[in-house]
Amino acid sequence: MKKMEISLPKWFSDADIETAVSALECYGGKVHFSRLENSLVVEFPSDDQLQREEPSLRKVINDLINSNHCRLAEVLYDQSTIDVPGSQDTARMLKERGDIIEHDFGIYSYQGEFHMLKSLLDKKVHEFGLSLGAIEIDYPNFISLAKLRRTSFLEHYPQLLNFVFTPKQNHEYLSGITAALKPENQAHLHKFLEGPEHICRSSSCLHTYMNHADKVLEKNLVYSTVGKCSRQENPSDKNFERLREFSMREIIFLGESEFVESQLTRCSDFVKNLMVAGPLKGVFQTSNDLFFPDQLAALQFYQKSQRAKLELRLQIPEESKTISVASLNRHTNYFSNSYSIALPNGELAKSGCFAFGLERLTYALYCQFGLRLEQWPQSLKSFLNIGY
């Protein structure tokens, strides 16, 4: 493996570092952050690939740095200075205890206490959604590319995509696909496949807007859904920050501007109540999604200045970093414009969503309070209805 190192400004936050890592991974290398050197190390299989990609990689980081005059990070609720017990080697200990079974990098099974705690967290958010009048709905794991093309999602997030290919349905191709599946023949596998017509969903809310495409809403709507999502991440075997498959509980709002805003305000209050209950060490702050550099500064400025995206970032004491475990998103009329979703008065509907990454949140709680639930703060156990 051939390596290159890119130094980062000392003022880069954990969210900035996470954005930088995600951006660099789009170019096919393995990326990790060296906290000691405050730099990103990128590895490629060959010198040729490194030399070919290095100018682009350095441009991405420079664009990120230069756009930071627009990064108006605002902390809405700060508990970053409180003390928590902390835990060491949390991921390894959860695997050794048998709660987590690794199938491949970023792909796991969950059982035992980890699964129980993840279910309790989901139940808490689900009950909160019901208190808002949410309709519970199950969405398919596949999303139509044709429908998704009505948005700019594919252009903004190509690094997340997991495509669904299917075998060509005739005897010649079906008989040949068996041989093509052998490791030494996989370079020819594409000859026997058709598509893709679908991707595996990378978030839970997208189907909501497709379901209401080209319609007039008769009333304000709230949906709640939970399911597996997939993203083409570069995971680590040391933690559960970045998974290729993960569970997301999401509450989605669609309707009049005042209605959506009032519901998102209640979601912000829920986050603050969760942080106080721990108390959890972290921050609830403005953030932004990763877009490509030609639009980076303007879009990040819009998202942060309008509080379009808020994140709950919890501290991972053993790594001296924070990870995002939940987000609140104001879409304004982006999706209703893409899918022609109107209000009875003819105006475009507004939308927003409130999402929790259940594995990340579960993992962060173990990192902050240890693996023995009976020793957790009583306030947190009561908030989550943990029976110890």
Q: How many residues does the chain have?
A: 388
Q: Indicate the DSSP class of residue 235.
A: -
Name the range with the highest mean pLDDT among 2-16, 71-85, 129-143.
129-143
pTM higher than the cut 0.85: no
Question: CATH assignment of 75-146+202-384, given 1.20.1440.230, 3.30.930.10, 3.30.1330.60, 2.60.120.260?
Answer: 3.30.930.10
Q: What is residue 70's predicted lDDT score, i.e. its pLDDT? A: 45
pLDDT in tens, 229-255: 998 776 665 667 778 899 999 999 999
Query: Do the domains spanning 2-70 and 75-146+202-384 agree at the CATH topology level?
Result: no
Statement: residue 65 has pLDDT above 80: no
Higher-pLDDT residue of 359 and 72 is: 359
Q: Which residue has the tokens 């349905």?
A: 169
User: What is the Cα–Cα distance from 175 to 172, expressed in whole angstroms?
Assistant: 5
Pick the range with the lowest mean pLDDT from 44-48, 79-83, 160-164, 201-205: 44-48
Q: pLDDT category, 62, cuts 50, 70, 90?
A: confident
Domain layout of the chain by residue ranges:
2-70, 75-146+202-384, 164-200
Q: What is residue 320's predicted lDDT score, i.e. its pLDDT? A: 86
Statement: residue 155 has pLDDT above 90: no
Q: What is residue 28's predicted lDDT score, i.e. its pLDDT? A: 67
Distances (CA, A) of 239 to 92, 108, 117, 333, 360: 8, 12, 17, 36, 9
Statement: residue 296 has pLDDT above 60: no
Q: Indicate the DSSP class of residue 296.
A: H
What integer best gives the mean pLDDT of the chain? 86
Mean pLDDT of 69-89: 82
Statement: residue 300 has pLDDT above 50: no
User: What is the Cα–Cα distance from 138 to 119, expressed in whole angstroms?
Assistant: 17
pLDDT in tens, 96-127: 999 999 998 889 999 999 999 999 999 999 99
User: What is the Cα–Cα distance from 264 to 329, expressed in whole angstroms?
Assistant: 8
User: What is the Cα–Cα distance from 355 to 31, expressed in whole angstroms?
Assistant: 26
Q: Which of 377, 364, 374 is nearest to 279 (CA)?
A: 377
Pick the range with the lowest mean pLDDT from 39-53, 145-159, 229-243: 229-243
Mean pLDDT of 36-59: 84
Number of Cβ within 10 Å of residue 56's Cβ equals 12
Domain 2-70 has CATH 3.30.70: yes
